[in-house]
Amino acid sequence: MNTLQKCKSCGSANIDSFGPEMAIHHAGRANLSKPHVWLFPELLVCFDCGVALLTVPEDKLRQLAESRELVLSELTTAEEKERCALEDTCRR
């Protein structure tokens, strides 16, 4: 049990740390096939309110930001394609 910290949500000391393995990707089925960012953080779990807290290391934040840029650029492309199809402005 982690006796030095308290839950940041409810203030309970009834928390403990765990060592999860996480593969993070953007939500949505289309993003399942994109590269995942792997994390092995310390996860603090509150047994009173259920809140779980972890900190993403800086190098992993950069990877997530790069992944986010890729997803956003693809969304723009998909939106543009949809608009072109609806307006019939892209056919030659």
* Residues near Zn ion (CB under 5 A): 7, 9-10, 12, 46, 48-49, 51
Q: 25 and 31 in contact (C-beta within 8 Å)?
A: yes
Using the Cα atoms of residue 80, residue 84, residue 89 and residue 91 in order, give the sign of their dihedral.
Answer: positive
User: Positive or negative, the Cα torsion across 9, 39, 56, 61?
Assistant: negative
Of 43 and 70, the one with the shorter C-beta distance to Zn ion is 43
Nearest approach in angstroms of CB 36 to Zn ion is 28
Shortest distance, CB of residue 10 to Zn ion, whole angstroms? Answer: 3
Give first-to-last CA distance, the chain, whole Å: 67
| Separation CA 90–CA 32 (nearest Å) | 29
Q: Which is nearer to Zn ion, 11 or 57 (CB)?
A: 11
Smallest separation (angstroms) from Zn ion to the CB of 41: 18
Q: With respect to Zn ion, which residue has the nearer C-beta, 37 or 45?
A: 45
Closest CB to Zn ion among residues 10, 78: 10
